[in-house]
Structure 1
Amino acid sequence: MSEVTSESHGRARDLLRFATAGSVDDGKSTLVGRLLYDTKSVLADQIEAVQRASVDKGLSAPDLSLLVDGLRAEREQGITIDVAYRYFGTPTREFVLADTPGHVQYTRNTVTGASTAELAVLLVDARHGVVEQTRRHAAVLALLRVPRLVLAINKIDIVDYDEAVLAAIAKDFAGLARSLGFADDAVVTIPVSALVGDNVVERSARTPWYDGPTLLGHLESVPVAGPEVAAPFRMPVQYVIRPRESTEDLHDYRGYAGQVAAGTVRPGDEVVVLPGGARTRVARVDTADGPLDAAGAGRSVTVLLEDDIDISRGDLLASAGAPPRLTSELDATLCWLADKPLRPGARLLLKHGARTTQVIVGALGERLDTETVSYVDAPEQLGINDIARVALRTADQLPVDEYADIRATGSFLLIDPPTGNTLAAGLVGHPLSLAG
Structure 2
Amino acid sequence: MTDPIYKTDALIAENIDAYLETHQHKTMLRFITCGSVDDGKSTLIGRLLYDSKMIFEDQLAALEADSKRVGTQGQEIDFALLVDGLAAEREQGITIDVAYRFFATEKRKFIVADTPGHEQYTRNMVTGASTADLAVILIDARKGVLTQTRRHSYLVNLLGIRHIVLAVNKMDLVGYDQATYDQIVADYRAFATSIGIKDFTAIPISGFKGDNITAPSEKTPWYSGPSLLPYLEAVEVNITADQEQPFRMSVQWVNRPNLDFRGFSGMIASGSVKPGDAVRVLPSGKTSTIARIVAYGGDKDEAVAGESVTLTLADEIDCSRGQVIVASKAPLEVADQFEASVVWMDENEMVAGRAYWLKIGAQMVSAKVAQPKYEVDVNTQEHLAAKTLDLNSIGVATITTDREIPFAPYAESRDLGGFILIDKITNHTVAAGIIHFSLRRASNIHWQATDIGRDHHAAMKHQKPAVVWLTGLSGSGKSTIGNALEKKLARMNRHTFLLDGDNVRHGLNKDLGFTEADRVENVRRVGEVARLMTDAGLIVVTAFISPFRSERDMVRGMMEPGEFIEVFVDTPLSVAEERDVKGLYAKARSGQLKNFTGIDSPYEAPDNAEIRIDTTAMTADEAADKIIERLIP
Equivalents in 2 of 1:374, 1:243: separation in Å?
55
User: How much does 1:324 deviate?
Assistant: 1.6
Match runs of 1:202-241 below 5 Å: 202-225=215-238, 227-241=241-255
Match runs of 1:413-428 below 5 Å: 413-428=420-435
Counterpart of 2:231, as a letter, is H
- Structure 2 CA distance for partners of 1:25 and 1:135, relative to 1, 3 Å: same
Equivalents in 2 of 1:237, 1:372: separation in Å?
41
Structure showing the higher helix proportion among its residues: 2
Establish whether residue 339 from structure 1 lines up as the match of residue 347 from structure 2.
yes
User: How much does 1:96 deviate?
Assistant: 1.6
Establish whether residue 317 from structure 1 lines up as the match of residue 325 from structure 2.
yes
Determine which of 127, 144, 150 is the counterpart of 1:112. Answer: 127
Task: Return 5+ residue gaps in structure 1 as ranges.
Answer: 1-10, 245-250, 432-436
Q: Is the 8 A contact 1:241 1:257 kept in 2?
A: yes
User: How much does 1:321 deviate?
Assistant: 2.4
- Structure 2 CA distance for partners of 1:167 and 1:266, relative to 1, 3 Å: farther
Q: Is the 8 A contact 2:171 2:206 kept in 1?
A: yes
Q: Is the 8 A contact 1:327 1:399 kept in 2?
A: yes
Residues 313-367 of structure 1: CA deviation (Å, up to 9, x unaligned) = 1111122222221111122111111111112121111112112111222232111
Equivalents in 1 of 2:176, 2:424: separation in Å?
54
Equivalents in 1 of 2:332, 2:320: separation in Å?
18
Determine which of 286, 291, 312 is the counterpart of 1:278. Answer: 286
Q: Is the 8 A contact 2:194 2:381 kept in 1?
A: no
3-state SS in 2 of match to 1:364: coil
User: How much does 1:102 deviate?
Assistant: 0.7
User: How much does 1:305 deviate?
Assistant: 2.7
Determine the structure 2 residue equivalent to 1:3. Answer: none
3-state SS in 2 of match to 1:409: helix
- Structure 2 CA distance for partners of 1:430 and 1:156, relative to 1, 3 Å: farther
3-state SS in 2 of match to 1:40: coil
Equivalents in 2 of 1:153, 1:225: separation in Å?
26
Determine which of 128, 139, 142 is the counterpart of 2:157. Answer: 142
Counterpart of 2:40, as a letter, is G
Q: Is the 8 A contact 1:231 1:406 kept in 2?
A: no
Equivalents in 1 of 2:261, 2:157: separation in Å?
44
Determine the structure 1 residue equivalent to 2:363. Answer: 355
TM-score (norm 2): 0.62
Counterpart of 1:172, as a letter, is D
User: How much does 1:141 deviate?
Assistant: 0.8
Match runs of 1:68-217 below 5 Å: 68-184=83-199, 187-217=200-230
Q: Is the 8 A contact 1:136 1:373 kept in 2?
A: no
Determine which of 61, 64, 72 is the counterpart of 1:48. Answer: 61
Equivalents in 2 of 1:21, 1:229: separation in Å?
29
Determine the structure 2 residue equivalent to 1:393. Answer: 400
Residues 222-279 of structure 1: CA deviation (Å, up to 9, x unaligned) = 12225534332221111222344xxxxxx85433211111233333432211111112
Residues 56-110 of structure 1: CA deviation (Å, up to 9, x unaligned) = 2442211111111111111122111121111222232222211111112222221
3-state SS in 2 of match to 1:242: strand
3-state SS in 1 of match to 2:171: coil
3-state SS in 2 of match to 1:223: coil
Equivalents in 2 of 1:275, 1:65: separation in Å?
48
Determine the structure 1 residue equivalent to 2:42. Answer: 29
Equivalents in 1 of 2:233, 2:57: separation in Å?
24
Alpha-carbon RMSD: 2.1
Equivalents in 2 of 1:291, 1:204: separation in Å?
52
Equivalents in 1 of 2:345, 2:294: separation in Å?
38
- Structure 2 CA distance for partners of 1:42 and 1:345, relative to 1, 3 Å: same
Determine the structure 1 residue equivalent to 2:269. Answer: 261
Equivalents in 1 of 2:276, 2:189: separation in Å?
46
Determine which of 384, 400, 412 is the counterpart of 1:376. Answer: 384
Counterpart of 2:133, as a letter, is E
- Structure 2 CA distance for partners of 1:312 and 1:328, relative to 1, 3 Å: same
Task: Return 5+ residue gaps in structure 2 as ranges.
Answer: 1-23, 439-633
Equivalents in 2 of 1:12, 1:375: separation in Å?
46
Q: Quote the sequence identity (%).
A: 46
Q: Number of aligned pairs?
A: 412
Residues 19-69 of structure 1: CA deviation (Å, up to 9, x unaligned) = 110111211110011011111222322221110122224422111111111
Determine the structure 2 residue equivalent to 1:306. Answer: 314
Equivalents in 2 of 1:23, 1:240: separation in Å?
44
Give the greater-gyration-radius structure (CA). Answer: 2
Structure showing the higher strand proportion among its residues: 1
Determine the structure 2 residue equivalent to 1:411. Answer: 418
3-state SS in 1 of match to 2:50: helix
3-state SS in 1 of match to 2:157: helix
- Structure 2 CA distance for partners of 1:395 and 1:45, relative to 1, 3 Å: same
3-state SS in 2 of match to 1:150: strand
Determine the structure 2 residue equivalent to 1:434. Answer: none
Q: Is the 8 A contact 1:139 1:373 kept in 2?
A: no
Counterpart of 1:199, as a letter, is N
Equivalents in 2 of 1:292, 1:173: separation in Å?
49
User: How much does 1:294 deviate?
Assistant: 3.5
Equivalents in 1 of 2:107, 2:279: separation in Å?
36
User: How much does 1:430 deviate?
Assistant: 7.4
- Structure 2 CA distance for partners of 1:267 and 1:225, relative to 1, 3 Å: farther
Residues 381-411 of structure 1: CA deviation (Å, up to 9, x unaligned) = 2111111112122112110111122111011
Q: Is the 8 A contact 2:343 2:394 kept in 1?
A: yes
